[in-house]
Amino acid sequence: MPGLGELFRKYKKEEKRGTPKAEAKETPGKTFLKAMPLRDLSDLDAVKKEVRSGNILILRITPLANKSVDDVKRAVNELCEFVETVGGDIARLGEERVVICPPNVKIWREKTPVTSEPIPTAA
Domain boundaries, the chain: 29-101
Residues above pLDDT 70, as percent of the chain: 68
- Asked if 55 and 32 count as a contact pair (C-beta separation under 8 A), the reply is yes
The span from the CA of 99 to the CA of 56, in Å, is: 7
Would the pTM of this model clear 0.85, i.e. be above it? no
For domain 29-101, give the fold. Answer: Translation Initiation Factor IF3 (3.30.110)
pLDDT 10s digits, 57-78: 999 999 999 999 999 999 999 9
Tell which phi-psi region holds residue 54, choosing left (phi > 0), alpha (psi between -120 and 50) or beta: left
